[in-house]
Structure 1
Amino acid sequence: MNTNEYPTHRLVKSEDLNHHGTLYAGRSAEWFVESGFVAASSILNPKNIICLKIHGMQFRTPVKPGECICYTSKTVYAGKSSLAVYVKVARVSNLESIIVDGFITFVHVDEHTKACPHGIVIKPETEEEKLFYKRASELGR
């Protein structure tokens, strides 16, 4: 299965700031997971997806109020019952310069919230997809 990228745009407002006047990491984490969920729910029923873990969300540069940022998510790996989504964040004015990136592991669950197989197979095609597939496959180790 080949997967798509899903962009989500955000305007950083005063209520999104920390005491230093930059984007609060907690707010960014919320948007990060939300963006990842969009990608995961494009493949699986959203009612059967839970977030297990955020991997490696580290800021490279601060984000100031009034800046527009874009969270781009893509499902890059499928385990037996899990999906790994890669999320990158960049300013809309400079999409090539990544502010923060990382992976999120989501788990496919049944009506009792027990992990269950989803039957999804991700086949990376490009060199970038192969790199993210490899990195994501090593997250659980």
Structure 2
Amino acid sequence: MNFHTRKWVKPEDLNANGTLFGGSLLKWIDEEAAIYAMCQLDNKRVVTKYMSEINFLSSAVQGDIIEMGIVATHFGNTSITLFCEVRNKVTRHSILTINKIVFVNIDENFSPVPHGKTKITSSSDKFKD
């Protein structure tokens, strides 16, 4: 799994305890996962269908740099299932894991449509001469 996206934990991202607010983190994850799904399915129209148990393992504080890793684990007919891990960039300690985030490929009428994908593709695979 590659960790591409990084976020700097700022004061506006904190909860009343002075640690990273889970809602902020989940917003970042949903956005990053949606972008990943769009890139894998070659469609800008995807919707979040399901997110499994969210396992908070540790917290982050103001000034920490966190990074998100996402990888596809299953391709359905109209869906893609992802795994996500968030960790502290400096210490490499896991902050959170989500075993299943499911996105559905949709058309302009918001109906599920087959995507025809069966494996992970990288950017280099898409831009071959």
The answer to whether the superposition gives a TM-score over 0.5 is yes
2:36 alignment partner, one of 22, 31, 39: 39
- Separation (CA, whole Å) in 1 of partners of 2:54 and 2:29: 9
Q: Residues 106, 48 of structure 1: CA spacing in aligned structure 2 closer, same or farther, 3 A cutoff? A: same
Unmatched runs of 5 consecutive residues or more in structure 1: 124-141
> Is 1:100 matched up with 2:96?
yes
TM-score by length of 1: 0.77
- Separation (CA, whole Å) in 2 of partners of 1:52 and 1:60: 24
- Separation (CA, whole Å) in 1 of partners of 2:83 and 2:111: 24
**Cα deviation per residue 1:86-141 (whole Å; 9 max; x = unaligned)?**
1100000123x311011211000111111111111138xxxxxxxxxxxxxxxxxx
TM-score by length of 2: 0.84
- Separation (CA, whole Å) in 2 of partners of 1:32 and 1:94: 20
Identity of aligned residues (%): 26
User: 2:125 matched to which residue of 1?
Assistant: none
- Separation (CA, whole Å) in 1 of partners of 2:89 and 2:2: 16
Unmatched runs of 5 consecutive residues or more in structure 2: 121-129
Q: State the number of aligned residues.
A: 119
Aligned CA RMSD, in angstroms, stands at 1.6
With 52-61 and 100-109 compared, the bigger mean Cα shift is at 52-61
